[in-house]
Amino acid sequence: MLLRMSTLLLKTLREEPADAEVPSHRLLVRAGFIRRAAPGGYTLLPLGKLVLDRVTAIVQEEMVAAGGQEVSFPALLPREPYDVTGRWTEYGDLLFTVKDRRGVDHLLAPTHEEMFTLLVQDMTGSYRDFPLLLFQIQTKFRDEARTRGGLLRGREFLMKDAYSYDLSEAGLIETYARMRATYQRIFTRLGLEHAIVSAVSGAMGGSASEEFLATAEVGEDTFVGCTVCDYAANTEAVTTPAPPARAVTAPALAVHDTPGTPSIASLVALANERALGGRTDWAASDTLKNVVVTVHHPGREPEVLAIGLPGDREVDLKRVEAVLSPATVTMFDDFDSRPDLVKGYIGPQNLKIRYLADPRVVPGTAWLTGANESGRHATDVVAGRDFTPDGTIEAAEVRPGDPCPACGDGALTMRRGIEIGHIFQLGRRYTDVFKVDVLGTDGKAVRPTMGCYGIGLSRAVAAIAEQHHDERGLVWPATVAPADVHIVAAGKDGQIEAALTLGAALSRAGIRVLVDDRPNVSAGVKFTDAELLGIPRSVVVGRRLDEGYAELRDRRTLERTEVPLADVAGVITRELG
């Protein structure tokens, strides 16, 4: 490959695009890799397309090596299969739907579980056809409420989605493990530093679920790690270690007048002021905060639910929803209709609604909490004596410094990441609804169990840019760079010709070459552009050409070395290994 900048469709921008905020978006636009074309949609320019193709090739290669077979479905699909699985409605506003000229409903697919499963149903019949691992690389559509970050979150994006079909749980577990290892290889080859975090499986159902997060400050996902062990998890999936139950030593429950204290802060202040229970060292963590939420179970009446947690913690509704999935949860606000729920003064004693408590609320713990009367609170409200929760719930926000649930020794740290991959054991949700049965070795029907494995390819390009840049521009990993070497003809006279001659020689040796052969462009501009474009090595054919020397530059370290022109091909070939 030999690209000449004199004819390449490329325009680098000297100034920052005003509508780009995150580094990857800014640099990809400024360096001429992408250009916005539609709300949440980007045109890949020649250089951007080269990078995406290299990313895609790596993914294809590893998927095939893992036993995957590539297929390709239409992106425009009929409604019916999605009605069968319920996703036409369950997917909600995120689903891009279209009507054809006859008014018939179609959708622009966000994922393809239905189509893959129907294909498997159509083309298999015997245990001999399994296990099966199919994948495709397809444009996916989601009517995102808010697109952001250029390629990071668009309404249209390129995704590799794979689905495995096994006839046994053991087979699924084995396939899942193989895909997990494959993903680690893929992301390592892409140069992406990543964490594998346990995730909740969400509305898709299924048991094991892990997300691959490329660490980046601009990432939308917060995940926790441990200072001691290798635990990593999405905040939704973090479990709280429960302290051991205690013997009841607290005195009997006592009710106090606490006027004007509907908030934890005001309650703690008043409790100390009045020395409730003889104490003046009340802290928010001594109080039990009781929050009322409305749980919207699909197809059922909403449930009003109370959640108890230490008063120094906020409720994290995402964590609550993760537990109660597929139900959605909102804060309850219709206190007028429930005189039994006294806003600001709710206690767990004698509640008429279901009450779930934070795991820290173990039997024997004594709390300062509401007395279920306006302007009154109670001290020494003891779990297991004065109230018994209907269960525990992971509702409290996770904080840095919280104890690690895995090793118990370390503290949790919080970092941000870009979700670039997600794998999970889907189970039989889809094979059940489509009644996919095949004959087993004993002649009896067996229902395959599924795994699902996705990688956002266009997003991965952005994630790579996010992790590999400096103040001068992009710094592509060699594995995905649009070219292996960037030859800069720095000056006048024969330098452009010499650069092109060198480029042709390298190209013949199988090296991807970009030559800056633009006439009448000053060396300074060419150097700046080379640094912005981020091709890992460049060769400057310039002032020492007459002496037979070129200059090699390393984009990452910015190191320069003089090399005899005749040796350039050899040096680069050696570096490429």
* Closest approach of RNA to the CB of residue 12, in Å: 5
User: Does residue number 149 form part of the binding site for RNA (CB under 7 A)?
Assistant: yes
- H-state helical runs in 509-564: 523-533
User: Does residue number 544 form part of the binding site for RNA (CB under 7 A)?
Assistant: yes
Among 62, 484, 517, 551, binds RNA (CB under 7 A): 551
Residues 6+ apart with CB under 8 A from 315: 291, 293, 307, 309, 395, 396, 397
Sign of CA dihedral 551, 554, 559, 561: negative
Among 524, 547, 574, 577, binds RNA (CB under 7 A): 524
Among 262, 359, 375, 491, binds RNA (CB under 7 A): 491
Question: Rounded CA gap, 100 and 92, in Å?
Answer: 20
Closest to RNA by CB, 226 vs 499, is 499
- With vertex at residue 81, the alpha carbon angle to CA 78 and CA 86, rounded to the nearest 5 degrees, is 120
Closest to RNA by CB, 312 vs 554, is 554
In this structure, what DSSP letter does residue 363 have?
Answer: T
* Closest approach of RNA to the CB of residue 119, in Å: 19
User: Does residue number 417 form part of the binding site for RNA (CB under 7 A)?
Assistant: no
Residues found in the chain: 577
Whether residue 326 is preceded by a cis peptide bond, meaning omega within 30 degrees of 0, is: yes
Mapping DSSP to helix (H, G, I), strand (E, B) and coil, where does residue 346 land?
A: coil
* Closest approach of RNA to the CB of residue 372, in Å: 28
Query: Residues binding RNA: what is the number (CB under 7 A)?
Result: 65
Closest to RNA by CB, 166 vs 221, is 221
Question: Rounded CA gap, 84 and 77, in Å?
Answer: 14
Among 529, 533, 534, 536, binds RNA (CB under 7 A): 529
Comparing C-alpha atoms, which of 298, 292, 310, 297 is closest to residue 354?
292
User: Does residue number 210 form part of the binding site for RNA (CB under 7 A)?
Assistant: no
Rg (CA), the chain: 30
Closest to RNA by CB, 503 vs 542, is 542
Considering only 76-84, 331-339, 343-351, 525-533, which stretch makes contact with RNA by CB under 7 A? 525-533
User: Does residue number 308 form part of the binding site for RNA (CB under 7 A)?
Assistant: no
What does the block give as tokens for 540? 């400057």
Alpha carbon 181 to chain centroid, angstroms = 18
Question: CB of 253 within 8 A of CB of 387?
Answer: no
User: Does residue number 559 form part of the binding site for RNA (CB under 7 A)?
Assistant: no
What does the block give as tokens for 568? 């350039």
- Residues within window 442-481 making contact with RNA, judged by CB under 7 A: 452, 454-456, 472
User: Does residue number 144 form part of the binding site for RNA (CB under 7 A)?
Assistant: yes
Question: Rounded CA gap, 542 and 519, in Å?
Answer: 13
Instruction: Mark 99-138 with x for binding to RNA (rule: CB under 7 A) and - for no binding.
Output: -----------xx---------------------------
Among 2, 75, 255, 317, binds RNA (CB under 7 A): 317
Cβ neighbours of 239 (radius 10 Å): 12
* Closest approach of RNA to the CB of residue 110, in Å: 6
Which residue's entry shows tokens 């094979």? 431
Among 148, 338, 343, 385, binds RNA (CB under 7 A): 148
Question: CB of 446 within 8 A of CB of 439?
Answer: yes
User: Does residue number 422 form part of the binding site for RNA (CB under 7 A)?
Assistant: yes
CA distances from residue 449 to 116, 165, 209, 386, 398 in whole angstroms, order as listed: 13, 6, 15, 47, 34
Question: Rounded CA gap, 434 and 113, in Å?
Answer: 11
Closest to RNA by CB, 328 vs 507, is 328
Considering only 163-171, 184-192, 336-344, 486-494, which stretch makes contact with RNA by CB under 7 A? 486-494
Among 540, 552, 568, 572, binds RNA (CB under 7 A): 540
Give the footprint of RNA on this chain (CB under 7 A).
11-22, 36, 39-40, 94, 110-111, 142, 144-150, 153, 159, 202-204, 220, 317-318, 321, 419, 421-422, 424, 452, 454-456, 472, 490-492, 520-525, 527-529, 531-532, 540, 542-544, 551, 553, 560
